[in-house]
Amino acid sequence: MIPYGFHKIIKEDIKSINNVLKSNFLTQGPKVEEFEKKINNYTRSKYAVVCNSASSALIMACKALDINKKHIVWTTSNSYVASANCALHCGASIDFVDIEISTGNISLKKLEEKLINAKKNNKLPKLLITVHFAGLPTQQEKIYVLSKKYNFKIIEDCSHSLGAKRNNIKIGNCKYSDISVFSFHPVKIITSGEGGACTTNDPKYYNKLKMLVTNGITKNINFMNKKNVSKFYYEQKYLGYNFKLSDIHCALGISQLTRVDKIVKKRNYLASLYKTKLEKIPVDIQNIEKNNYSSYHIFVIRIKPEYFVLNHKEIFDYFYSKKIFINMHYLPIHLHPFYKKLGFKKNMFPNAEHHAKTAITLPLYYDLNEDQIDKVIGLFSKIIK
């Protein structure tokens, strides 16, 4: 059996979890700050706040930016639903910008057109959430220029792109965004079991995120209304959540983070094998500009249907029957029943929809080997016309 993704746990990971289990703190202990510091060092951002998932991190990030029912939030439809749900959790309304077919990322052209229109109609977004699809960075510095012109904030959903670089700068540094969000779910680049993080360079957002993760509570005297307080005293300043990440999870995350560059390098190597071996197969491959270094969270191809004897659905049936569990990223968010009820319809974002009809995510994970890649390619060669 070949899955599309798989985690990699080594002896050191288990040892570091065991150490926490034998220590005084299972949660709210020293591993939390240690993980946050290591994420800062790695991404070269000023602050980090860890939490129990990227879905939670996205909600907190929207809250930290004061997103509320007066606001419109934009993201792309070619993403996991969490990229859009966070706006709705804050009471804001959501809209999408179509993707660029060649990358699966937000189309700069469509974004500009949509902004010009929105300005005319007085419907400009307060926030744009960009997604580094499959680990490929978006054209963030250009989007940043637009954000200044049209006055919107930016969250980068970096759930796919830990370890990716653009113009030699690591993703998550927040040079061109207010907050970046990461996921440590087992299929992502590194894992903490479940887990997520926000990075930012703004102390205002950092302090608020730190409170939101623990029910809006602060124990820091500098942020309290009351002065000269008892040792036990704390204040709730915001309506927050229990989104805390335990020390057990942090220990795994810390241990995994030490290997992230090695992991991303291996993913790039496996992707390069796929690219060479796919040359004779009638498919399109995500275009990676020279100034980008992808983390290859997933390896996505798009079939040219007219060259295959099976259609998109039948290809999945065929691969599953051979125990190769290819996948598809993503079902367009706007076509889920929940979003259709909000008024979204087919043909609203044609590139995202075309992508979904032709895209296939091939198996890619740390321990995948060349024989297994050959098996995947072999199955494709059997179904070409």
Residues that bind ligand PLP (CB under 6 A): 53-55, 79-80, 82-83, 131, 157, 159-160, 183, 185, 196
The minimum distance between CB 192 and ligand PLP, in angstroms, equals 10
Among 319, 332, 309, CA closest to 363: 319
* Residue closer to ligand PLP, measured from CB, 298 or 377: 298
* Residue closer to ligand PLP, measured from CB, 189 or 377: 189
The minimum distance between CB 186 and ligand PLP, in angstroms, equals 9
The minimum distance between CB 87 and ligand PLP, in angstroms, equals 13
* Residue closer to ligand PLP, measured from CB, 95 or 156: 156
* Residue closer to ligand PLP, measured from CB, 185 or 377: 185
Q: Give the integer Cα–Cα distance in Å for 95 and 3.
A: 33
The minimum distance between CB 83 and ligand PLP, in angstroms, equals 5
The minimum distance between CB 55 and ligand PLP, in angstroms, equals 3
* Residue closer to ligand PLP, measured from CB, 83 or 218: 83
Place of tokens 């939490």: 51
CB 309 within 8 Å of CB 317: no
* Residue closer to ligand PLP, measured from CB, 80 or 176: 80
The minimum distance between CB 190 and ligand PLP, in angstroms, equals 12
* Residue closer to ligand PLP, measured from CB, 105 or 207: 105
Q: How many Cα atoms sit within 13 Å of 160 on the Cβ side? A: 27
* Residue closer to ligand PLP, measured from CB, 187 or 224: 187
Q: Say which residues have a Cβ less than 8 Å from residue 241's Cβ, sequence separation at least 6.
A: 56, 59, 60, 212, 213, 215
Among 84, 83, 81, 106, CA closest to 93: 84
The minimum distance between CB 160 and ligand PLP, in angstroms, equals 5
The minimum distance between CB 57 and ligand PLP, in angstroms, equals 7
